[in-house]
Amino acid sequence: PGPRRRRLGVVGRLVLVWGQAAAAPVAALVLSPEKIGLSRIQWVVLGSGLMISLVGIIVTGRSVALPLRALRSAVLRVQAGDLDVAVVVEDGGELGQLQAAFNEMVTGLRERDRVQLLFGRHVGAEVARQALAGDDALGGELRVVSVLFADIDGSTSLAQALSPDELVIMLNGFYGAVVSAVSAEGGLINKFEGDAALAVFGAPIAQADHADRALRAARALRTALADLTPVFPRLDVGIGVATGPAVAGNVGAADRYEYTVIGDPVNEASRLSDLAQEHPGRVLVSESTVAAAETEFTHWIGSGTARLRGRDRDTTLFVPLEDGRIALGEDQQQTP
């Protein structure tokens, strides 16, 4: 709807009522052709009464209008996203009840934001938003997704070689790199599993270009991890990416569940990350992901095949284009 025409405020309406109920009858008496025999003092009293009542009307109107203006200003701040606001509760009347209800509403909104923030840190911001909104889309459904799996090589030996503080600092650096790379492409950090991270593209938000996003995230993650090498020289991570149909949704009991993705691409990405730990570039992706990419495929090159653990057929492997060129150059140097 379009903007309403500006109407009289509280003070203006009360003055209008005063004019109709008090001033108009007195004016009619004054202008009447039939003279009314009132003494001067009576006229003074009548005029003084009119002025005093007008002042009283204005004061009363302002006592209502000013708190309403403050409330309106607070509502506009909340509408703009500012929840750090409260209004003064004037009294226990209707106006005070309205002010108290507004403060309770803002407190509830702040609590909801806090819950969503904390919840989002565990399950992802989008999953938290949809869950708090009661979105039925979080139920189980078959989706074609791209999965990125990153796993630290030799985590057991790292736990023995590093102090607890050093290990936690290194893990936080690893997790921070994963979160930055995945979030930049709109992916969901589905799980942190000790020394590994699982990210999903294409669920819970449908993304037609989920394969491109996953491949870009893999390249960005590799770059970020390379930048961490001077700080954490023991940090060695294998990255695997796979694409395919999977069941995505809430899994667990009625009072505790988690959003997860179950299916072949999850297993394949995990196996690829294991194999990538033995590969010079530390990144391997499946042919299915490269084939599903619309533009990102130009940054990847085939690198042979391998029989992944638990699979009955060979998987065609792809690596970042720069890794393929390096490997090709090494092969040429070894050729007599």
Which three-class secondary structure string do you get for 105-139?
HHHHHHHHHHHHHHHHHHHCHHHHHHHHCCCHHHC
As a whole number of angstroms, the distance between CA 123 and CA 174 comes to 18
Q: Is 195 found in the same domain as 146?
A: yes
Let me know if residue 3 belongs to a domain: no
- Whole domain around residue 57: which residue ranges? 10-116
Other CB atoms within a 10 A radius of the CB of residue 293 amount to 24
| 78 in Cβ contact with 85 (< 8 Å) | yes
Q: Is 300 found in the same domain as 154?
A: yes
Q: Is 151 found in the same domain as 257?
A: yes
Q: Is 308 found in the same domain as 215?
A: yes
Q: Is 242 found in the same domain as 110?
A: no
What's at 271, amino acid-wise? Answer: R
| 300 in Cβ contact with 290 (< 8 Å) | yes
Let me know if residue 123 belongs to a domain: no
Other CB atoms within a 10 A radius of the CB of residue 208 amount to 11
The number of folded domains in the chain is: 2
Which three-class secondary structure string do you get for 192-249?
EECCEEEEEECCCCCCCCHHHHHHHHHHHHHHHHHHHCCCCCCCCEEEEEEEEEEEEE
Q: Is 308 found in the same domain as 265?
A: yes
Q: Is 299 found in the same domain as 196?
A: yes
3-state class (DSSP) for residue 335 = coil
Q: Is 280 found in the same domain as 211?
A: yes
What's at 293, amino acid-wise? Answer: A
Q: Is 87 found in the same domain as 49?
A: yes
CATH number at residue 198: 3.30.70.1230
pLDDT, tens digit only, all 336 positions of the chain: 455 565 777 777 888 887 777 777 777 766 666 666 667 787 777 788 888 888 888 888 888 888 888 888 888 888 888 888 888 887 778 888 888 888 888 888 887 776 556 545 544 555 555 555 555 445 578 899 999 999 998 877 888 888 889 888 999 999 999 999 998 998 888 888 878 999 999 988 889 999 999 999 999 999 999 999 899 988 999 999 999 999 988 776 655 667 788 999 999 999 999 999 988 889 999 999 999 999 999 999 998 999 888 788 899 999 998 875 554 444 444 444
Let me know if residue 40 belongs to a domain: yes
Q: What number of CA atoms fall less than 13 Å from residue 178's CA on the CB side?
A: 28
| 196 in Cβ contact with 150 (< 8 Å) | yes
